[in-house]
Every structure is written in structure tokens, then in C-alpha cells.
């Protein structure tokens, strides 16, 4: 689980956790657990939260201190898969080697690369921290390839 700026963003927007949870259509307790890094935020929900606050995911997850106004509703699994494969190839790693590095099954990585399912947030965050690639770029929300 990575640190987030959820509480900071909520307070900047003069919102209560209850209001954010309602807007995201989730339980207040779930939002609170995300805000206090008690449970990981699913990738789809990270995108929704970034859209809600109109910020880049790299900023939201404290991979960058540069806040950029971004909002994108589309989740293109094929694009994400192609970008994950591109990162792996640029790192010159096999699926098995990357799986070992990220402590995940190479078969899961293969299914992400094929665009069969959305990559788990903890794996995505680890990969982007390790490689300096922007999560927003990987998820098709930005044209900027690297974390700023």
C-alpha cells in the first residue's frame, strides 16, 4: 500500500469524508481506510478519486509533488496492456523476471499485458516507482511518459 494525499485533497476542497464517500458511491468506512492507508485502493477507484479531485494519479499517490489537472473516464485495457509490455521490454525483463521483482505471478502480468484485466494497484504502483514511469501515462490519462 502506498501513501496517498487523500486527506490533504479532501481538506483542500473543504469536504468531509462522508461527502467524498457518497460522491464515490462507497461506504464511508472504506474511504476512511483508504485515506489512512489501511487497505489498498483498487486501480479503478484510484482513477475515480483522481477524476473526482481533478488531479494526476502520480500526485495523488505521492509519486510526484507536481499537481496537474487531469480527468479521464476511459479505461482502455488494450492501451494499458501495451504500455505495461513497453515498460517491461524497456527494463529488458521477461514476464517471469518482472514477476519476481514485483512479487507477483508472471501469469498475472501476462494477462495485464494482453489487456484481459486491469492491473492491481499495488503492482502498478510498485512498477511505476521502480521504473519512474507515470501511472497516468500507463493508464492512458496523460501523454507524459515519466513521473515529473
Give 77-110 pLDDT, tens digit per residue.
999 999 999 999 999 999 999 999 999 999 999 9
Give the CATH architecture of domain 77-138: Orthogonal Bundle (1.10)
Is 80 exceeded by the pLDDT of residue 42? yes
The mean predicted confidence, pLDDT, of the chain is 95
Contact 29, 1 (CB under 8 A): no
Which residues belong to CATH 1.10.260.40 in the chain?
A: 6-60, 77-138
User: What is the arithmetic mean of pLDDT over 123-129?
Assistant: 96
On the question of pLDDT at 1 being above 80, the answer is no
Fold of 6-60: 434 Repressor (Amino-terminal Domain) (1.10.260)
pLDDT greater than 60 at residue 43: yes
> How far from the centroid of its chain's Cα atoms is residue 97's Cα?
22
Of 71, 46, 74, 81, nearest in space to 60 by CA: 46
Q: Which percentage of the chain shows pLDDT scores above 70? A: 99
Amino acid at each position: 500500500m502506498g501513501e496517498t494525499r487523500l486527506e490533504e485533497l479532501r481538506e483542500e476542497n473543504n469536504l468531509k469524508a462522508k461527502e467524498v464517500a457518497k460522491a464515490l458511491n462507497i461506504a464511508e468506512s472504506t474511504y476512511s481506510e483508504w485515506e489512512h492507508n489501511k487497505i489498498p485502493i483498487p486501480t479503478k477507484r484510484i482513477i475515480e478519486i483522481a477524476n473526482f479531485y481533478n488531479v494526476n494519479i502520480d500526485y495523488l499517490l505521492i509519486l510526484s509533488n507536481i499537481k496537474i489537472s487531469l480527468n479521464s473516464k476511459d479505461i482502455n485495457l488494450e492501451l494499458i496492456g501495451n504500455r505495461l509490455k513497453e515498460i517491461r521490454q524497456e527494463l529488458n525483463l521477461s514476464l517471469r523476471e518482472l514477476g519476481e521483482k514485483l512479487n507477483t505471478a508472471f501469469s498475472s502480468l501476462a494477462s495485464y499485458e494482453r489487456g484481459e484485466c486491469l492491473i492491481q494497484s499495488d503492482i502498478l504502483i510498485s512498477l511505476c516507482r521502480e521504473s519512474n514511469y507515470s501511472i497516468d501515462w500507463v493508464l492512458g490519462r496523460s501523454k507524459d511518459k515519466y513521473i515529473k
